[in-house]
Structure 1
Amino acid sequence: MSAQLPEGWTLAASAFNWSPELMVADRTSPEIAASIGASGVANVIELEAAQTWRTFPDPSDAETSSIRSALDATGTSVSIVGASLDDWLTATTRRSEDERYEFLLPQLRAAARLGAEGIRLPLGQAGPALLERLLPRLHEHGLALYEELQGQQSLDKPQNAAAVEAVAAVDDTSIRLLLDISMLMPSLPPSYLARLRAGGVDASLVDALEHDWRNPATLDAVQAALRGGTVPPPVHTLFMNLVIRFGRSDARELREILPLVGGVHLKFWDLDDTGGRISNPIREISAELATVGFTGTLCSEWGGHEWIDSLTPEQATRAHLALAREAISEGASTPVTA
């Protein structure tokens, strides 16, 4: 018998995990999305608007209806649509507030037509004025808007704290936070470290990353390598994960914002759970969320396909969902200590 989740908690999978198959392009994005439910991996999924609609950023009703039919036929429902807000008309000209608002409205309409519960934006991108302006539209469509914290977006940074406060100030359940547990990485993925070593990154720095990731001095060394130009060009983009996508926070540090959280991304990079590297953050955040009465989706999201080609998206997601279900069940039933 599979582990039981608390009432109101839904385990989902992100269609983003199938990005490698999208790049092969032998199936369309809607076909891939529908296959997630058809294959039994997950019957609740997240979609990325820019990956899903050929008519993006103004999804046509006809295309949306076709996607909805494909999903319905496989018993697949949509939890959250990752929306996109392009703030720039050209390389030097920003969209006005009216233009930013109008850019999002077709995506809201399309998400609602798919039966999604909400849309997602990066933390702070909308800004307080646009959040307030969107609120009536969210009510009209029966949607929530989730602002996502991830990676290095810790609450001790003023801009992040201000963005969270803007969400709290709206004081409406249609505006909520989404927490990506890439914020809570106790150590780095072995597969990632192996790629850095193979790519020629200084061995002493990789050793520090492997054994002392959360030490502030380690991040200082990362910044020094970037400033000094010592990161080999072939792995430079991959190296940037260290300052953007890989976080060093602790679940307890997020307690004050958890009542605002309506969704969680269970980000994973590889499947090496040695020492609970993957499962412990899931247990810890599940325990904290259970304490505040959380309800919502917890979505498996695979970031490691950027450097791992030995797993198919289906293999990686199935294995991660099984691990996550056990960890959520254990964490949510464990009392939180002060």
Structure 2
Amino acid sequence: MTIPAEWTLAASAFNVTPEVVRAERSAPDLALTLVERGIATAIEIELGQMWRGFPDPPAAETTAFHDRLAAAGGRVSIVGVSIDEFARGRRRTDAERRAFLAPQLRAAASAGAAGVRLPIGQAGPLLAGLVPLLDELDLVLYEEAQGHQTPTDPGTAAAYDRIAELDTPRVRLLLDISMLMPALPVTYLEKLERGGLPADLVRRLRDEWRDPATHGAVIDVLRSGGVPGPVHTLYMNLLVRFGRSNVADLASVLPLLGALHLKFWDLDDADGRVSTPIREVGRALRATGFAGTLCSEWGGQEWLDDDPWEMTERHLALARTALAPA
């Protein structure tokens, strides 16, 4: 069986970031390759990565990208946008924050996007006031939660409540399945081990990731100065980007859901650590009548040098299989 017609598998242009950094081709050209190679017809893009002039890129460039993408048989699903909280060393006022965000919304609409994405809670008190502009531009604003940002997390609980209170189809939730990791990526653990992380902690991370006590051990080693310098940045993923929740922990917010990121790090799925969260969230989505995009987003480029197109294509194939009902 196949996935429901209301679900769209998409690919993120973030996956080709190493090629963007290499700068042999422009970011729009590289994003377009995901469609040209037949990997996906719907793609997510990051506004700040795509065009000069951020947060207000030239309309001619965003429109030209829309036209090129459409000619190749593709479209933009969601555009990643952001709010720069500071200007010249001082915090922006809410009016200034809105003025920083508004041209990004117009650029996303010009590129043909169905929606834009912000980290959950970042819009804050601006959210309700943005609804008329979202109506005007025919956009949905997705607030993205990932890693440890569950509905019960004190830092994000109010943001979930705000989406529910607004009760508008113009503001929806986007969940990243990095929240649902049954185990850590094999290649990530290997990198930490080679980097000299204490063997006992590596063992706990490998065998006891979902044990709440493991989180305490992670913090203890960090505070003690026991994290080797070469893997210090990677180590912080344990506190920010990697979650240990179950789908049941998200049941209360699934009716708010408009999109998902099928975050993956590597494709070592011998024990189902990649496919199981996809399969479990697929079951939950069927029960709630979900309609929206499920986007392949590769986070492992931080420590892997694999071909991003091949990784994305293989991941989407794995996702199709996991999402199809048994």
Same fold (TM over 0.5): yes
Shift of 1:203: 0.8
Which of the residues 133, 158, 165 maps onto 1:162? 158
Among 189, 198, 204, which residue is 1:202 paired with?
198
Residue of 259, 269, 272 corresponding to 2:265:
269
- Determine the C-alpha separation between the residues in 1 that align with 2:238 and 2:320: 27
Match of 2:316 in 1: 321
Deviations 1:123-155 (A, max 9, x none): 10111x201110000000000000001011122
Q: Deviations over 1:71-94 (max 9, x none)?
A: 123222100000111111133x11
| Partner SS state of residue 186, structure 1 | coil
Q: Is the 8 A contact 1:33 1:71 kept in 2?
A: no
Q: Secondary structure at the match of 2:324?
A: helix
* Aligned equivalent of 1:240: 236
Query: Partner of 2:281 in structure 1?
Result: 285
Runs of at least 4 residues of structure 1 off by over 4 A? none
RMSD (CA atoms): 1.0
Q: 3-state DSSP class of the match of 1:16?
A: helix
CA distance, structure 1, for counterparts of residue 234 and residue 56 of structure 2: 32
Q: What is the Cα deviation at residue 114 of structure 1? A: 1.2
1:203-222 mapped onto 2 (5 Å cutoff): 203-222=199-218
Give the whole-Å Cα distance in 2 for the aligned partners of 1:308 and 1:158.
Answer: 33
Aligned partners of 2:155 and 2:203: how far apart in 1? 32
1:257-309 deviations in Å (ceiling 9; x for gaps): 00000000000000001211111100111111111110000000000011011
Find the residue that maps to 2:156 and give its secondary structure: helix
Question: Among 128, 132, 152, which residue is 1:132 paired with?
Answer: 128
Distance 1:312 1:57 in 2: 30
Residue matched to 1:113: 110
Structure 1 alignment gaps of length 5 or more: 334-338
- Aligned residues of 1:35 and 1:74 also touching (Cα < 8 A): no
> 3-state DSSP class of the match of 1:4?
coil
Cα displacement (A) at 1:69: 2.4
Cα offset, 1:217, TM superposition: 1.3
Aligned residues: 326
Structure 2 letter corresponding to 1:16: F
1:256 aligns with 2:252: yes
Alignment of 1:147 with 2:140, yes or no, is: no
**TM-score normalised according to structure 1 size:** 0.95
TM-score, normalised via structure 2 length: 0.98
Give the counterpart letter for 1:323 in structure 2. Answer: L
The one-letter code of the counterpart of 2:101 is L
Shift of 1:5: 1.3
Q: In structure 2, give the amino acid aligned to 1:120.
A: R
Of 90, 93, 96, 1:99 maps to: 96
Amino acid at match of 2:144: E
> Where does the alignment leave 5 or more consecutive residues of structure 2 unmatched?
none
Tell me how far 1:241 sits from its aligned partner: 0.3
Aligned partner letter, 1:258: L
Q: Secondary structure at the match of 1:263?
A: strand
Letter paired with 1:315: E
Decide which of 171, 184, 194 is 1:188's aligned counterpart: 184
1:8 corresponds in structure 2 to 6
Describe the superposition over 1:192-247 as per-residue Cα deviations: whole angstroms up to 9, x where unpaired: 00000111101110010000001111111110111011100111000000000000
